[in-house]
Amino acid sequence: MSVTVRVPAKVNVQLAVGAARPDGFHDLANVFLAVGLYDEVTVTPADELRITCEGPDAGQVPLDRGNLAARAAIALAERRGIEPAVHLHITKDIPVAGGMAGGSADGAGALLACNTLWGTGASRAELLAICAELGSDVPFSLVGGAALGVGRGELLTSLEVGGTFHWVFAMAGRGLSTPAVFREFDRLAEGCDIPEPVASRELLDALAKGDPDALAAAVSNDLQPAALSLFPELSDTLAAGRAAGALTALVSGSGPTTAFLARDPESATKIADVLRASGTCRTVRTATAPAPGATVLTTSATA
């Protein structure tokens, strides 16, 4: 018996960041949009917990118990008093350390896959609670679609999306550490008055209408200056995509992946071609949004 779950990447169309809290996290108003780039997690019974990974970036994925997929299996097994004796295989298509919640996707995917394999029957609410323990972005990977995340990003309200958005993503030659980007945010904000993070009404309306021009006018990412400060070359990628006709260009989450909103599929293809030729990034992908959350693809009787 094995179970395969598919989980989407995300882009943050709004990432409003408040001041650092006593626990070191930051309060957020985080508007997540799931995009059609996916990791797959396959779970199979094994003698003991082990992880393997395939895909172009597989070499950068830690295969120890710190991997969010392993932590998810352990967390569910501990709650049920069973051993997490499984082989987790990750087929990785979401960039590693890219600001697109690839690690979180693997955590949510492993959790749903193990819950299915073991027949543990965890409710949606329990799965979401485990996801929130694993990381701020993990609940959204389970839910998908579009959602506003508050608190440290884990308290979700699903959002209406009235159409399909066409995106282009440029993957950078190296990753960025999320904690390092938040630390840089704190450094840049020193001495400034940081307002409470609040979701933008214009942005929520643009999503609900499925209006790419209105969405482009409303996107924002408070982590972008920090990401650009640590990775200044990203400005060249953003400029190349804008010049190719992107309605807007922004850093995805904590970066360094950059995201470009296109008016239609033809424009997305053109922006992708220009970015590929620009020499300012490693790879370029197009994807549509919203995408569904973690989904069981197959349960098979054979390992």
Give the residue numbers annotated as catalytic, written as ranges: 10, 137
132 is in an annotated binding site: no
- Which run of H or E residues covers position 224? helix 224-230
Compute the distance between CA of residue 203 and CA of residue 238 in angstroms, rounded to an integer: 21
CB nearer to ligand C5P: give 164 or 177. 177
The answer to whether 71 and 134 are in contact (CB under 8 A) is yes
Buried b (16+ CB within 10 A) or exposed e, 71-101: bbbbbbbeeeeeebebbbbbbbbbbbbbbbb
Q: Which of 137, 172, 247, 251 binds ligand C5P (CB under 6 A)?
A: 137
- Six-digit token string for 228: 């650009």
Range 10-29, binding ligand C5P (CB under 6 A): 24-26, 28
Length of the chain: 303
105 is in an annotated binding site: yes
Cβ 227 to ligand C5P, closest distance in Å? 13
Q: Which of 98, 102, 107, 135 binds ligand C5P (CB under 6 A)?
A: 135
98 is in an annotated binding site: yes
97 is in an annotated binding site: yes
Does position 40 interact with ligand C5P (CB under 6 A)? The reply is no
Q: Which stretch binds ligand C5P (CB under 6 A): 8-16, 51-59, 178-186, 281-289?
A: 178-186
Cβ 184 to ligand C5P, closest distance in Å? 11
Does position 182 interact with ligand C5P (CB under 6 A)? The reply is yes
Does position 32 interact with ligand C5P (CB under 6 A)? The reply is no
Buried b (16+ CB within 10 A) or exposed e, 26-42: bbbbbbbbbbbbbbbbb
- Six-digit token string for 216: 């482009």
Burial class (CB in 10 A: 0-12, 13-18, 19+), 23: exposed
Cβ 27 to ligand C5P, closest distance in Å? 7
Which residue ranges make up the annotated binding site for ATP?
95-105
By CB under 6 A, name the binding residues for ligand C5P: 24-26, 28, 135-137, 152-153, 178-179, 182
